[in-house]
Structure 1
Amino acid sequence: MAKPNKKGPTQTVEIFCAKCKAQLFKYRKGGKGSLVKCFKERIVDDYTQIPCQCPSCEQVFARDTLIRGAPAFKMIGGKVTMK
């Protein structure tokens, strides 16, 4: 399986907690689809103190996993929104 390229797309999206609207990440996302996973190497700014947990409401929004051999966060459906 091929790994995602390190540079990745140039378009960034901001990822927010769906419950309290706190900003979680600024992420270089490719494509137009929904947010299913976040590769750690593509995260530009990380606003969380504890990985996969919202800093304000402490809700768990993702799981730490390996996808295609690269470390990533697998998003839990309905827990995050993006702009």
Structure 2
Amino acid sequence: MSKPNKKLPTRSVDIVCGKCKTLLFKYKKGGKGALVKCFKERIVVDYTERPCTCPHCETVFARETLVRGTPAYKIIGVKATLK
């Protein structure tokens, strides 16, 4: 499998907690599909104190994993959404 493109996409989105709507990341998203995974190298601003955990309601919204050899967060269901 190939690695994700090194050039960051131009579209910047806010990722919020699905439960309390707290801002989690500012992320450079490619494509127009649903939010399934977040590559760590594309996160512009990280508002979380602990990885994959909402700072306000303590909900675990993702799992750390490798996707095509690159570190990423795999989003669990609808626990994190685009804004």
- TM-score bracket, normalised by the shorter chain, equals over 0.9
Report the equivalent of 1:15: 15
The one-character-per-residue Cα deviations of 1:24-63 (angstroms, maximum 9, x if unpaired) are 0000001110000000000000000000000000000000
Structure 2 stretches lacking a partner, 5+ long: none
**2:44 maps to amino acid:** V
Q: Is the 8 A contact 1:12 1:26 kept in 2?
A: yes
Give distance in 2, aligned partners of 1:10 and 1:32.
12
Question: Aligned-pair distance for 1:78?
Answer: 1.1
Identity %: 70
CA RMSD of aligned residues (A): 0.7
Alignment map for 1:1-80 (pairs within 5 Å) = 1-80=1-80
SS of 1:41 mapped into structure 2:
helix
Question: Aligned-pair distance for 1:7?
Answer: 2.3
TM normalised by structure 2 equals: 0.97
Structure 1 stretches lacking a partner, 5+ long: none
SS of 1:13 mapped into structure 2:
strand
How many residue pairs match? The answer is: 83
Q: Is the 8 A contact 1:15 1:82 kept in 2?
A: yes
Question: Aligned-pair distance for 1:5?
Answer: 1.6
